[in-house]
Structure 1
Amino acid sequence: MKLDATDQRILRELRNDGRVSNAKLAERVGLSATPCWNRVRALEEAGVIEGYAALLNQKALGLPDTVIIEVKLAKHDERTLDRFGEALADLPEVVEAFLVSGEYDYLIKVAVAGTEGYESFLRRKLYRLPGFQDSRSMFALRCLKRSVSVEP
C-alpha cells in the first residue's frame, strides 16, 4: 500500500492518541468523518495498522525496573529455536524479545521488581527454558525514549 501525506498524518495522530474519536481525527487531518473512517479501515485492512493498545506504567504495576538480557542457546537447530521462542513469549515479565545475530541469540527486555524480582525471574523462569545456555544482563538506569511504533 502506497501511503500519501494524508495517510501519514492519520498514522501520526493515531500513534500519538489511539483513542482519538473519528470526528476529532478527521478534524486534525483535514478530512470529513466518512473519508477519514474509510482511510483508517483501509490502513487496518492493509496491515499498516496492526492494532491498538493501552500503555501500562510498569512502576504503577509494581515492576519498576527494566533489565535487558542477552541469551545464548546451547543449540541452534530449528526445534530448539522454536521451543525456546515459544516458551519465552509465554513469560509475562518479557516485554520484548528479539532473535538476533551476533554472539548471543536473543535480546530480551523484561520488567521486574528490583534485584530480587530479577533473580527470581532468572532462577525460576529463564534458566529453565528449553535450550538455555548462558546470559548476560544490564539494568536500565533510565528510559530515554519509549515508542510503540515507528513514526510514518
Structure 2
Amino acid sequence: MELDSVDVTLLRMIQKDSTLSLADLAESVNLTTTPCWKRIKRFEELGIIDKRVALLNPAPLGLDFTAFVMLKTSDHSHDWYQRFSSQIAEFEEVMEFYRMAGEYDYMLKVVVADMQAYDHFYKKMVNAVTGIADVTSTFAMESIKYTTALPIHER
C-alpha cells in the first residue's frame, strides 16, 4: 500500500496515543473529520491498524522480571508445530513468541514477578510441551528501550 505524508502522520499519531479524538487527528493533518475517518477506516480494513489497546507498565504491577527463552525442538512436523504453538500461546506469561532461523527454533519473551515465578512457568512449560530438545533462558537486567511504535515512512 502506498502511504502519503498524511497517512504517515496519522499512523504515527495513533501509535503514540490511540485515544486522540477524530477531530484532533483531522486538525493535525488539515483534513475534515470525514476524510480523516475514511483513512483510518481503510487502515483498519487493510489490517494496518490491528487493534487499539492500553499499554500497562509492568513494574507497578509487580511484573519486574523479563526472560528471553530460546527453544530447540527435535520434531519439526506440522502436527507438532500446531500443538506446540497453541500450547505456548495459552501461557499468559508469554508476551511474544517467534519461530526463528538460526541455532534456536523458537524464542519467547516471558514476563513474570521474579525468578521463583519464572521457575514455576518453566516447569509448567516443559511439563506441558513434548518434543523440546533444549531450553536456554537469559534474563533482562534493565529495559533500556521499549516501544510499540513502528518506524513508518512514506512509500
* TM-score normalised by structure 2 residue count: 0.92
Q: 1:64 and 1:126 mapped to 2: Cα distance?
A: 23
Q: How many residues align?
A: 152
State the AA in 2 paired with 1:29.
Answer: V
Quick check: 1:57 aligned with 2:91?
Answer: no
RMSD over aligned CA atoms reads: 1.3
Could you list the per-position Cα deviations for residues 97-146 of structure 1 after superposition, in whole angstroms to 9, with x for gaps in the alignment? 00001111101100011110111110122443132221111111111221
Q: 1:58 and 1:45 mapped to 2: Cα distance?
A: 31
Q: What residue in structure 1 maps to residue 102 of structure 2? A: 102
Q: 1:144 and 1:29 mapped to 2: Cα distance?
A: 32
CA contact 1:83–1:130 (8 Å) conserved in 2? no
Structure with greater contact order relative to length (CA < 8 Å, sep ≥ 6): 2
Could you list the per-position Cα deviations for residues 34-81 of structure 1 after superposition, in whole angstroms to 9, with x for gaps in the alignment? 111111111111111111111012222221111001011121111111
Q: Percent identity?
A: 37
Q: What residue in structure 1 maps to residue 25 of structure 2? A: 25
Q: 1:69 and 1:114 mapped to 2: Cα distance?
A: 15
Q: What residue in structure 2 maps to residue 15 of structure 1? A: 15
Gaps of 5+ in 1: none
CA contact 1:97–1:108 (8 Å) conserved in 2? yes
Quick check: 1:89 aligned with 2:57?
Answer: no
CA contact 2:87–2:128 (8 Å) conserved in 1? no
CA contact 1:88–1:94 (8 Å) conserved in 2? yes
| Partner SS, residue 23 of structure 1 | helix
Runs (4+) off by over 6 Å: none
Quick check: 1:78 aligned with 2:74?
Answer: no
* TM-score normalised by structure 1 residue count: 0.94
